[in-house]
Chain A
Amino acid sequence: MAGVAVSTTINGDSVEYLCQPDETLLEVLRDRLGLTGAKEGCGTGDCGACSVILDGRLVCSCLVLGAEAEGRQVETVEGMAHGEQLHPLQQKFLEHAALQCGICTPGFLIAAKDLLAKNPSPTEEEIRFGLAGNLCRCTGYDKIVRAVQDAANMMRGA
Protein backbone atom coordinates (compact mmCIF):
# COMPACT_ATOMS: atom_id res chain seq x y z
CA MET A 1 0.00 0.00 0.00
CA ALA A 2 1.46 3.28 -1.10
CA GLY A 3 1.43 6.13 1.40
CA VAL A 4 0.13 9.50 0.27
CA ALA A 5 2.03 12.66 1.20
CA VAL A 6 -0.34 15.47 2.08
CA SER A 7 0.22 19.19 2.68
CA THR A 8 -2.75 20.90 4.19
CA THR A 9 -3.79 23.66 6.57
CA ILE A 10 -5.38 22.80 9.89
CA ASN A 11 -6.73 25.60 12.09
CA GLY A 12 -4.54 28.00 10.16
CA ASP A 13 -1.34 26.02 10.60
CA SER A 14 0.51 24.34 7.72
CA VAL A 15 0.62 20.62 8.34
CA GLU A 16 2.25 17.80 6.42
CA TYR A 17 1.61 14.15 6.91
CA LEU A 18 1.88 10.79 5.23
CA CYS A 19 -1.24 8.65 5.30
CA GLN A 20 -2.55 5.45 3.81
CA PRO A 21 -4.91 5.77 0.82
CA ASP A 22 -7.87 4.37 2.77
CA GLU A 23 -7.21 6.33 5.94
CA THR A 24 -9.92 8.82 6.81
CA LEU A 25 -9.30 12.42 7.72
CA LEU A 26 -10.70 11.56 11.16
CA GLU A 27 -8.07 8.86 11.63
CA VAL A 28 -5.35 11.24 10.47
CA LEU A 29 -6.49 13.98 12.86
CA ARG A 30 -6.78 11.66 15.83
CA ASP A 31 -4.07 9.08 15.34
CA ARG A 32 -1.40 10.93 13.38
CA LEU A 33 -1.82 14.54 14.47
CA GLY A 34 -3.04 14.08 18.05
CA LEU A 35 -6.12 16.21 17.44
CA THR A 36 -8.59 14.06 19.35
CA GLY A 37 -11.32 16.71 19.62
CA ALA A 38 -13.18 15.15 16.70
CA LYS A 39 -14.70 11.86 17.91
CA GLU A 40 -15.69 8.67 16.17
CA GLY A 41 -19.22 7.85 17.24
CA CYS A 42 -20.13 5.73 14.23
CA GLY A 43 -17.63 6.01 11.38
CA THR A 44 -20.48 6.12 8.88
CA GLY A 45 -21.59 9.75 8.85
CA ASP A 46 -24.64 9.16 11.01
CA CYS A 47 -23.71 10.90 14.27
CA GLY A 48 -21.72 14.04 13.43
CA ALA A 49 -19.28 13.67 16.35
CA CYS A 50 -16.38 13.92 13.92
CA SER A 51 -17.59 17.13 12.24
CA VAL A 52 -14.97 19.48 10.84
CA ILE A 53 -15.15 22.34 8.38
CA LEU A 54 -13.36 21.66 5.09
CA ASP A 55 -12.90 24.66 2.82
CA GLY A 56 -15.89 26.32 4.43
CA ARG A 57 -18.14 23.25 4.20
CA LEU A 58 -19.30 21.25 7.17
CA VAL A 59 -18.34 17.59 6.71
CA CYS A 60 -17.98 14.39 8.68
CA SER A 61 -14.24 13.78 8.81
CA CYS A 62 -14.97 10.03 8.90
CA LEU A 63 -16.33 10.37 5.35
CA VAL A 64 -13.31 12.22 3.98
CA LEU A 65 -10.03 10.55 3.09
CA GLY A 66 -6.91 11.98 4.63
CA ALA A 67 -5.51 12.17 1.12
CA GLU A 68 -8.32 14.50 0.06
CA ALA A 69 -7.16 17.25 2.43
CA GLU A 70 -4.28 18.10 0.12
CA GLY A 71 -4.15 21.85 -0.39
CA ARG A 72 -7.30 22.48 1.60
CA GLN A 73 -8.29 24.22 4.83
CA VAL A 74 -9.48 22.16 7.76
CA GLU A 75 -11.07 23.66 10.88
CA THR A 76 -11.52 21.55 14.00
CA VAL A 77 -12.81 22.23 17.50
CA GLU A 78 -9.23 22.77 18.66
CA GLY A 79 -9.14 25.91 16.54
CA MET A 80 -12.31 27.54 17.84
CA ALA A 81 -10.92 29.41 20.84
CA HIS A 82 -8.32 32.11 20.47
CA GLY A 83 -5.90 31.59 23.30
CA GLU A 84 -7.89 31.95 26.50
CA GLN A 85 -10.76 33.62 24.66
CA LEU A 86 -13.47 31.06 24.06
CA HIS A 87 -15.66 31.26 20.98
CA PRO A 88 -19.13 32.59 21.93
CA LEU A 89 -20.57 29.15 21.19
CA GLN A 90 -18.12 27.51 23.57
CA GLN A 91 -18.97 30.06 26.25
CA LYS A 92 -22.71 29.64 25.80
CA PHE A 93 -22.50 25.85 25.79
CA LEU A 94 -20.85 26.12 29.21
CA GLU A 95 -23.31 28.66 30.57
CA HIS A 96 -26.37 26.76 29.41
CA ALA A 97 -25.00 23.35 30.43
CA ALA A 98 -25.55 22.31 26.84
CA LEU A 99 -23.43 19.25 27.47
CA GLN A 100 -23.67 16.37 29.87
CA CYS A 101 -21.19 13.70 28.85
CA GLY A 102 -19.65 16.03 26.29
CA ILE A 103 -18.68 13.46 23.63
CA CYS A 104 -20.90 15.08 21.01
CA THR A 105 -19.93 18.61 22.01
CA PRO A 106 -17.02 19.20 19.59
CA GLY A 107 -19.20 18.10 16.68
CA PHE A 108 -22.09 20.30 17.79
CA LEU A 109 -19.81 23.30 18.24
CA ILE A 110 -18.37 22.93 14.76
CA ALA A 111 -21.79 22.35 13.19
CA ALA A 112 -23.24 25.33 15.05
CA LYS A 113 -20.33 27.49 13.98
CA ASP A 114 -20.97 26.56 10.36
CA LEU A 115 -24.69 27.16 10.82
CA LEU A 116 -24.24 30.64 12.28
CA ALA A 117 -21.68 31.55 9.63
CA LYS A 118 -24.31 30.88 6.97
CA ASN A 119 -27.33 32.05 8.93
CA PRO A 120 -26.57 34.49 11.76
CA SER A 121 -30.21 34.70 12.91
CA PRO A 122 -31.60 31.19 12.72
CA THR A 123 -35.07 30.35 14.03
CA GLU A 124 -35.43 27.49 16.49
CA GLU A 125 -36.56 25.28 13.62
CA GLU A 126 -33.57 26.24 11.50
CA ILE A 127 -31.25 25.44 14.39
CA ARG A 128 -32.93 22.09 14.95
CA PHE A 129 -32.72 21.08 11.29
CA GLY A 130 -29.25 22.60 10.97
CA LEU A 131 -27.99 20.42 13.79
CA ALA A 132 -29.94 17.29 12.86
CA GLY A 133 -26.75 15.61 11.66
CA ASN A 134 -25.34 15.65 15.18
CA LEU A 135 -26.62 13.10 17.65
CA CYS A 136 -26.76 13.83 21.36
CA ARG A 137 -28.06 11.14 23.68
CA CYS A 138 -27.82 13.03 26.98
CA THR A 139 -29.52 16.40 26.73
CA GLY A 140 -32.64 15.98 24.64
CA TYR A 141 -31.15 18.93 22.66
CA ASP A 142 -33.11 21.55 24.62
CA LYS A 143 -30.11 23.25 26.20
CA ILE A 144 -28.04 22.91 23.02
CA VAL A 145 -30.64 24.79 21.01
CA ARG A 146 -30.86 27.48 23.69
CA ALA A 147 -27.07 27.83 23.80
CA VAL A 148 -26.92 28.28 20.03
CA GLN A 149 -29.73 30.85 20.14
CA ASP A 150 -27.93 32.76 22.87
CA ALA A 151 -24.57 32.57 21.08
CA ALA A 152 -26.21 33.85 17.89
CA ASN A 153 -27.59 36.81 19.83
CA MET A 154 -24.20 37.49 21.32
CA MET A 155 -22.41 37.24 17.98
CA ARG A 156 -24.90 39.53 16.28
CA GLY A 157 -24.44 42.06 19.05
CA ALA A 158 -20.66 41.93 18.83
Chain B
Amino acid sequence: MVEVTLWGSLGRAAGGTNKLDIEAKDIRELFRKLAEQHPGLQPWIDRGIAVSIDGTIYRDTWSKQLPQDAEIFLLPRLAGG
Protein backbone atom coordinates (compact mmCIF):
# COMPACT_ATOMS: atom_id res chain seq x y z
CA MET B 1 0.00 0.00 0.00
CA VAL B 2 1.38 3.40 -0.96
CA GLU B 3 -0.02 6.80 -0.12
CA VAL B 4 -0.50 8.95 -3.20
CA THR B 5 -0.98 12.71 -3.08
CA LEU B 6 -2.92 14.40 -5.89
CA TRP B 7 -2.41 17.98 -7.00
CA GLY B 8 -5.33 20.31 -6.37
CA SER B 9 -7.24 19.98 -9.62
CA LEU B 10 -6.78 16.22 -9.81
CA GLY B 11 -8.04 15.92 -6.28
CA ARG B 12 -11.27 17.57 -7.35
CA ALA B 13 -11.61 15.15 -10.24
CA ALA B 14 -11.15 12.32 -7.76
CA GLY B 15 -14.09 13.57 -5.76
CA GLY B 16 -12.46 16.11 -3.51
CA THR B 17 -9.75 14.05 -1.88
CA ASN B 18 -6.07 14.88 -1.95
CA LYS B 19 -4.68 11.62 -0.61
CA LEU B 20 -5.40 8.07 -1.64
CA ASP B 21 -4.03 4.78 -0.38
CA ILE B 22 -3.51 2.39 -3.24
CA GLU B 23 -2.01 -1.07 -3.48
CA ALA B 24 0.35 -0.70 -6.45
CA LYS B 25 3.84 -1.93 -7.12
CA ASP B 26 4.66 0.41 -10.01
CA ILE B 27 3.36 3.44 -11.88
CA ARG B 28 1.45 1.32 -14.39
CA GLU B 29 -0.52 -0.45 -11.68
CA LEU B 30 -1.07 2.83 -9.91
CA PHE B 31 -2.69 4.37 -12.98
CA ARG B 32 -4.79 1.26 -13.62
CA LYS B 33 -6.13 1.21 -10.08
CA LEU B 34 -6.67 4.96 -10.01
CA ALA B 35 -8.84 4.68 -13.09
CA GLU B 36 -10.74 1.71 -11.65
CA GLN B 37 -11.42 3.40 -8.34
CA HIS B 38 -12.01 6.89 -9.74
CA PRO B 39 -13.32 6.72 -13.33
CA GLY B 40 -13.28 10.52 -13.41
CA LEU B 41 -9.49 10.36 -13.53
CA GLN B 42 -9.29 8.40 -16.78
CA PRO B 43 -9.30 11.50 -19.04
CA TRP B 44 -6.54 13.02 -16.90
CA ILE B 45 -4.45 9.88 -17.21
CA ASP B 46 -5.01 9.87 -20.96
CA ARG B 47 -3.83 13.46 -21.19
CA GLY B 48 -0.79 12.67 -19.13
CA ILE B 49 0.11 12.60 -15.48
CA ALA B 50 3.62 12.76 -14.14
CA VAL B 51 4.56 10.91 -10.97
CA SER B 52 6.98 12.34 -8.48
CA ILE B 53 8.70 9.65 -6.39
CA ASP B 54 10.69 11.20 -3.57
CA GLY B 55 10.98 14.41 -5.54
CA THR B 56 12.13 12.89 -8.83
CA ILE B 57 9.58 13.38 -11.58
CA TYR B 58 8.78 10.45 -13.88
CA ARG B 59 6.73 11.07 -17.00
CA ASP B 60 7.09 7.91 -19.04
CA THR B 61 8.78 5.21 -16.96
CA TRP B 62 5.61 3.36 -16.04
CA SER B 63 7.64 0.37 -14.88
CA LYS B 64 9.13 2.47 -12.09
CA GLN B 65 8.64 0.72 -8.76
CA LEU B 66 6.84 2.55 -5.99
CA PRO B 67 8.75 2.01 -2.73
CA GLN B 68 6.46 1.54 0.28
CA ASP B 69 7.84 4.46 2.25
CA ALA B 70 8.29 6.79 -0.71
CA GLU B 71 6.50 10.07 -1.15
CA ILE B 72 4.32 9.65 -4.25
CA PHE B 73 2.94 12.84 -5.74
CA LEU B 74 0.94 13.15 -8.92
CA LEU B 75 1.50 16.20 -11.15
CA PRO B 76 0.32 17.43 -14.53
CA ARG B 77 2.51 16.35 -17.41
CA LEU B 78 4.18 19.49 -18.70
CA ALA B 79 5.67 20.75 -21.92
CA GLY B 80 9.03 22.47 -22.23
CA GLY B 81 10.43 25.00 -24.63
Tell whether any CB of A sits under 8 Å from a CB of B in the complex.
no
Residues of A in contact with B (beta carbons under 8 Å apart): none
